[in-house]
Amino acid sequence: IRKSALLEFVPPAGSIDDVGGLENLKRWLAKRNGSWLPDAARWGISPPKGVLITGVPGCGKSLTAKCMSSLWGLPLLRLDVGKIFSGLVGSSELNMRASLRLAEAVAPSILWIDEIEKGFGSASSAQSGDSGTSQRVFGTFLTWMQEKSSSVFVIATANKIDALPPELLRKGRFDEIFFVDLPTDSERRTIWSLHLGKRLREGEALGGELALTEQLVADLAAGTDGFSGAEIEQAVVAACFDAFAERRALRVEDLQRAVVSTVPLSVTQAEQVAT
């Protein structure tokens, strides 16, 4: 499968070490590597059904999912739940079934359901006009999750856990649910090192003025409390553009300026609550 209408083959990308923080989740996944192999039965275990990762936007949920195929050496298929609901009567369920069959056809495999709340968010509420279809598609998925014996590991990512139907969170569906929060100070140090280190390695014109010292990383982390991983990356990129615009090496001031001009989503949301 290179690309089908509903499922997209995600080529192996990056290593799980590119994900800063999220240690519990990474450990959980690493321990289950190879659990689909017949040999695993000697330990009295069966392959996990799946994991749900929810939490703050831009903190590494999708990044972790994208690293799954290199972590486990299995094909990774991304399901666009939005496309399941095609608008033609009856075909949404067929779409769902076809997607699950495709993932089974290449098993052992990993099925990544991105933004699962977008597809199933309305499934348990009767308010939405399409909730009948949504409920049936959701039911198809739930039954498959519960009964599946094939080695298709589901990794579902969601921004809003409260938008998900409670049935999805019940025992027997996902083996584990992880909540990803904004990075702590030490996680921000790792994320700064990862992103800044990568740019300095790849962009030969950036180096020369700035050394990636522990002190610099500690200062940047301390100045970016409330930033998500994505916002840290955004600040690194903005600083690189400052250097590029003047065709010179990267300076600490570029990074400081980029940090100051980035208003993290967490601050914007806190302001909205306060007003």
Phi-psi label, residue 60: left if phi above 0, alpha if psi -120 to 50, beta otherwise: left
Task: Tell the smallest beta-carbon distance from residue 94 to ligand ATP (Å).
Answer: 28
Determine the residue with CB nearest ligand ATP.
229
- Neighbouring CB atoms inside 10 A of 193's CB total 17
Residue 113 or 194: the one with the smaller Cβ distance to ligand ATP is 194
Cα 255 to its chain centre, rounded Å, is 26
- Closer Cβ to ligand ATP, 23 or 253, answer by number: 23
Write down the least CB distance from residue 8 to ligand ATP, Å: 15
**How far does CA 76 lie from the centroid of its chain?**
13
CB of 114 to ligand ATP, least distance (A): 8
The contact set with ligand ATP (CB under 6 A) reads 19-22, 57-63, 157, 159, 191, 194, 229-230, 233
Minimum distance from residue 21 beta carbon to ligand ATP (Å): 5
| Phi (first) and psi of residue 157, to 5 degrees | -120, 140
Toward ligand ATP, which CB reaches closer, 91 or 159?
159
Q: Is 161 exposed, middle or buried (0-12, 13-18, 19+ CB in 10 A)?
A: middle
The smaller minimum CB distance to ligand ATP, of residues 133 and 228, is found at 228
Taking the least distance from each CB to ligand ATP, the nearer of 63 and 243 is: 63
Rounded to an integer, what distance in angstroms lies between the CA atom of residue 247 and that of residue 234?
A: 20
Radius of gyration of the chain from its Cα atoms, rounded to whole angstroms: 21
**Least distance between ligand ATP and beta carbon 90 (Å):** 31
